[in-house]
C-alpha cells in the first residue's frame, strides 16, 4: 500500500484514501459477483504485480479497477431480485445504509435481518393488493433492493404482512436505512416508488 501511495508522489493521507477506496470497491464488486477464492487471489496478485512494476493503478485497465463488463454485471445483480442473493444481500444493504447515514449508523449485527416492505405474501384484502394488483407486478418488485429494509430480528418477525401505514408507524420510524423510503410516507406503490426499487437507488 505504501508503494501504491508513492506512485502518486504524494505523502499525505489522500493517496492512501484513494487506494483503499478503490480496493474496497473492487472487493465489494467481487463479493457481489460471487467470485471464487482463486479468482480473488489471482486478482490481488495482479494488483501486487502492478504495484511492484510501478504501473498506474488508476488507469482503466488496471487490475485495481473494475472493468466495464464487471460494472455491468454488478448493476444486473443490484437491479434484480437482490433478496434471493442470500450471500450478498445483507452486505449490500448494510453498505448502502452506511453510505446514506454517512457512517453514523450503528448495528447489533447478530440480530439484523432483512424485511420486505411489500410483503412476500400480502393478505388478499390488504392495501398491498390495490397498489400491486397483479401477481406479475408483485413478483417484479417484492425482492428488489428498494423493497428491502434492515430490521432487528424481533421487529422483523412482528412486522410481516401489515399494511404500509402500520409498518411505517410501528417499525420503520427508527428502522435502519429508513431514509431511503421516508419521502414516500403515504403510499408504497410501484408507480410512486419505482426510483427506489433497483440499482438507480444507488445513483
CA–CA gap between residue 24 and residue 22 (Å, rounded): 5
pTM of the model: 0.81
CB atoms within 10 A of CB 65: 18
Give the residue among 117, 139, 124, 119 at the shortest CA–CA distance from 185: 117
Q: pLDDT above 90 covers what percent of the chain? A: 46
pLDDT at 45 (0 to 100): 97
Give the residue among 58, 74, 164, 68 at the shortest CA–CA distance from 116: 164
pLDDT digits (tens, 9 = 90+) for 136-182: 999 999 999 888 888 877 665 666 678 888 877 766 655 555 555 55
Instruction: Please provide the average confidence, as pLDDT, over all residues in the chain.
Output: 82
- Whether 184 shows a pLDDT value over 60: the answer reads no
CA–CA gap between residue 156 and residue 154 (Å, rounded): 5
CA–CA gap between residue 85 and residue 91 (Å, rounded): 10
pLDDT digits (tens, 9 = 90+) for 79-95: 999 999 999 999 999 88
Amino acid at each position: 500500500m505504501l508503494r501504491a501511495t508513492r506512485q502518486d508522489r504524494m505523502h499525505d493521507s489522500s493517496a492512501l484514501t484513494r487506494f483503499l477506496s478503490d480496493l474496497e470497491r473492487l472487493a465489494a464488486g467481487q463479493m457481489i459477483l460471487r467470485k471464487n477464492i482463486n479468482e480473488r487471489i489471482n486478482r490481488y496478485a495482479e494488483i501486487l504485480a502492478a504495484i511492484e512494476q510501478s504501473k498506474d493503478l488508476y488507469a482503466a485497465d488496471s487490475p485495481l479497477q473494475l472493468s466495464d463488463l464487471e460494472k455491468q454485471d454488478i448493476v444486473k445483480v443490484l437491479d434484480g431480485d437482490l433478496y434471493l442473493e442470500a450471500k450478498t444481500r445483507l452486505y449490500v444493504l448494510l453498505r448502502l445504509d452506511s453510505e446514506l447515514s454517512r457512517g453514523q449508523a450503528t448495528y447489533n449485527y447478530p440480530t439484523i435481518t432483512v424485511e420486505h416492505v411489500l410483503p412476500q405474501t400480502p393478505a388478499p384484502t390488504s392495501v398491498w393488493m390495490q397498489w400491486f394488483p397483479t401477481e406479475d407486478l408483485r413478483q417484479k418488485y417484492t425482492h428488489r433492493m428498494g423493497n428491502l429494509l434492515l430490521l432487528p430480528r424481533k421487529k422483523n418477525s412482528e412486522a410481516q404482512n401489515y399494511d404500509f401505514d402500520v409498518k411505517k408507524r410501528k417499525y420503520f420510524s427508527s428502522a435502519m436505512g429508513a431514509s431511503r423510503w421516508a419521502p414516500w410516507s403515504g403510499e408504497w406503490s410501484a408507480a410512486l416508488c419505482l426510483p427506489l426499487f433497483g440499482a438507480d437507488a444507488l445513483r
